[in-house]
């Protein structure tokens, strides 16, 4: 096998499974209370709908860019292609700089959520025990990924099935004892002037839960017929998860007062135990723990490909560009992100993740919208197996939505994300000086080959 080649073995079904597993994971089981609390009642349902609209608009940006440039690395490939003629390697470098921390730290939330649900069985777990379990779980996921992509595909589909069973189980428990008066007990002024303030905070949570619809864009070199497979996996996964989140949210709200839901630490266990008893709650909690591991599994699968692509193009450390001699996967990037994920489980990540998400909006989400427009104008002849529906309307919706989410974030997260990007600019300047790259040398452009076979 070539040092630069992957196996193209992922189709629409397994690709959609990868996206959906990453989108869901432990997310809704730990964020439904946060969404209800942020929006102040059952109107939290609106947050899931608006989050889906933003995800779909952004997903259509990913679909066109990914279909046209289906290499491993996702955003890195698109930013390199769109901005290299103006700023050289700056934009892809900043993206890698952010993602090398953002991806594993986001995976840490899955591990932390898993440990929270594990306390359903072991309520007296101490500080040391919880962190030992978190590190061990991260090691298990990394070991599961340390193999050929064909084995990873089989494991992913199995975990996807478990994820669906856990979601359906919790929703079924809720609907089996559903009380519409509880589910739609809107407080006075629920849709008044404060609604939009709550929507901003809730949308940050909603966006976090929908993230993952782009996972297949990071493994474009491993998709069969990526120009057609990638858009389908993105669009199908967003539509399917919107339905799942709405049903799950409504079912949970119909079991207990929204005030109790808003303060619950393990809302899924609460719903199942109240509806079907302790034994059923224990079974469902076990499935949720496995689902949490599945989300970390798929997140590290896609995320480890990001620095790999950059290293191949001499925009990052060369060690990250190595493939495992037998398995054909980027083992250095995988191990590095696994270690960072394990470290992240020792901290309270709420504000840190909020900071990393705001940084991601600037160097990824908004930058990609601009990249699509730039490439449409500058390279109209670029092969595009998929062209964005109703262009440029989705781009406009995505841009407005991301700006709204960004300004709704906390002041501290905005300051920290700005500081992280500023630090990235300093590091890039040092790197460019050492490697004689722009702005210390003439621009060097690279025309990325579109690998369709």
For the stretch 175-215, pLDDT in tens is 999 999 999 999 988 888 778 888 888 888 888 889 889 88
Q: Does any domain span residue 111? A: yes
Query: Is residue 442 in some structural domain?
Result: no
Burial of 368 (0-12, 13-18, 19+ CB in 10 A): buried
Q: Give residue-wise pLDDT tens across range 257-300.
A: 999 999 888 899 999 999 999 999 999 999 888 888 877 887 78
Whether pLDDT at 150 is above 60: no
Could you tell me if residue 308 is inside a domain?
Answer: yes
* pLDDT tens digits along 73-131: 678 889 989 998 889 889 988 988 888 888 888 888 889 889 989 988 998 888 899 99
CATH code (residue 317): 1.20.1740.10
CB-neighbour burial class of residue 337 (10 A; exposed 0-12, middle 13-18, buried 19+): buried
**Residue that wins the pLDDT comparison between 276 and 327:** 276
Residue 451 falls inside a structural domain: no
Give the pLDDT band of residue 6 (cuts 50, 70, 90). low
pLDDT attached to residue 450:
44
Using CA atoms, how far apart are residues 431 and 27, in angstroms rounded to an integer?
A: 37
Higher pLDDT, 298 or 413: 413
Looking at residues 355-382, what average pLDDT do you find?
A: 91
The reported pLDDT for the residue numbered 449 is: 44
Domain count, the chain: 1
Name the residue range of residue 158's domain: 12-434
Secondary structure string (H, E, C) spanning the chain = CCCCCCCCCECHHHHHHHHHHHHCCCHHHHHHHHHHHHHCCCCHHHHHHHHHHHHHHHHHHHHHHHHHCCCECCHHHHHHHHHHHHHCCHHHHHHHHHHHHHHHHHHHHHHHHHHHHHCCCCCCCCHHHHHHHHHHHHHHHHHHHCCCHHHHHHHHHHHHHHHHHHHHHHHHHHHHCCCHHHHCCCCCCCCCCCHHHHHHHHHHHHHHHHCCCCHHHHEHHHECCHHHHHHHHHHHHHHHHHHHHHHHHHHHHCCCCHHHHHCCCCHHHHHHHHHHCHHHHHHHHHHHHHHHHHHHHHHHHHHCHHHHHHHHCCCCCHHHHCCCCCCCCCHHHHHHHHHHHHHHCCCCCHHHHHHHHHHHHHHHHHHHHHHHHHHHHHCCCCCCCCCCCCCCHHHHHHHHHHHHHHHHCCHHHHHHHHHHHHHHHHHHHHHHHHCCCCCCCCCCCCCCCCCCC
Q: How far apart are CA 171 and CA 178, in angstroms?
A: 10
pLDDT score of 1: 40
**Residue 403 within a domain:** yes
Phi then psi for 129, rounded to 5 degrees? -65, -45
- Model-level pTM? 0.83
d(CA 118, CA 444): 52
Whole-number Å distance between alpha carbons of 204 and 225: 34
Q: What is the pLDDT of residues 58-78, one digit of tens each?
A: 999 999 999 898 876 678 889
Question: If we measure between CA atoms, which residue out of 334, 331, 335 comes closest to residue 323?
Answer: 331
pLDDT over threshold 70, residue 158: yes
398 part of a folded domain: yes
Is residue 445 one of the residues assigned to a domain? Answer: no
Domain membership of residue 74 (yes or no) is yes
What average pLDDT does this structure show over 333-345?
89
């Amino acid at each position: 096998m070539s040092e630069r080649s992957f196996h193209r073995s992922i189709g629409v079904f397994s690709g959609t499974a990868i996206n959906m597993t990453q989108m869901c994971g432990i997310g809704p089981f730990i964020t439904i209370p946060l969404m209800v609390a942020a929006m102040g009642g059952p109107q939290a349902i609106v947050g899931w709908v608006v989050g889906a609209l933003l995800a779909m608009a952004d997903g259509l940006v990913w679909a066109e860019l990914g279909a046209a440039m289906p290499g491993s690395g996702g955003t890195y490939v698109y930013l390199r292609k769109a901005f290299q003629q103006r700023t050289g390697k700056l934009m892809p470098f900043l993206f890698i700089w952010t993602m090398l921390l953002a991806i594993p730290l986001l995976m840490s939330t899955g591990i932390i959520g898993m440990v929270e649900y594990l306390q359903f069985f072991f309520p007296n777990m101490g500080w040391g025990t919880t962190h030992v379990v978190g590190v061990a779980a991260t090691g298990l996921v990394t070991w599961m990924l340390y193999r050929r992509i064909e084995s990873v595909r089989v494991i992913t589909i199995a975990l996807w099935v478990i994820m669906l069973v856990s979601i359906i189980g919790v929703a079924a428990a809720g609907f089996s004892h559903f009380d519409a008066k509880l589910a739609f007990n809107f407080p006075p002024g629920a849709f008044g002037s404060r609604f939009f303030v709550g929507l901003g905070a809730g949308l940050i949570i909603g966006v976090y839960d929908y993230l993952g619809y782009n996972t297949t864009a990071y493994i474009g070199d491993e998709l069969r017929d990526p120009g057609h497979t990638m858009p389908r996996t993105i669009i199908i996964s967003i539509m399917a998860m919107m339905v799942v989140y709405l049903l799950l949210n409504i079912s949970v709200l119909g079991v207990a007062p929204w005030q109790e839901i808003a303060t619950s630490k393990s809302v899924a266990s609460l719903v199942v135990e109240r509806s079907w008893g302790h034994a059923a709650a224990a079974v469902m909690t076990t499935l949720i723990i496995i689902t949490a591991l599945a989300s970390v599994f798929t997140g590290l699968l896609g995320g480890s490909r990001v620095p790999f692509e950059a290293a191949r193009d001499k925009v990052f450390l060369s060690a990250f560009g190595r493939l495992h001699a037998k398995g054909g996967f980027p083992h250095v990037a995988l191990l590095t992100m696994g270690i960072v994920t394990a470290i992240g489980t020792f901290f309270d990540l709420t504000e840190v993740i909020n900071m990393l998400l705001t940084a991601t909006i600037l160097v990824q989400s908004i930058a990609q919208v601009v990249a699509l427009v730039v490439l449409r104008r500058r390279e109209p002849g670029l092969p595009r197996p998929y062209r964005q529906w109703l262009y440029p309307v989705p781009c406009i919706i995505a841009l407005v939505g991301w700006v709204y989410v960004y300004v709704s974030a906390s002041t501290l997260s905005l300051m920290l994300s700005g500081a992280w990007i500023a630090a990235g600019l300093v590091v890039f300047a040092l790197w460019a000086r050492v490697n004689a790259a722009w702005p210390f040398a003439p621009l060097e452009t690279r025309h990325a080959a579109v690998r369709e076979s």
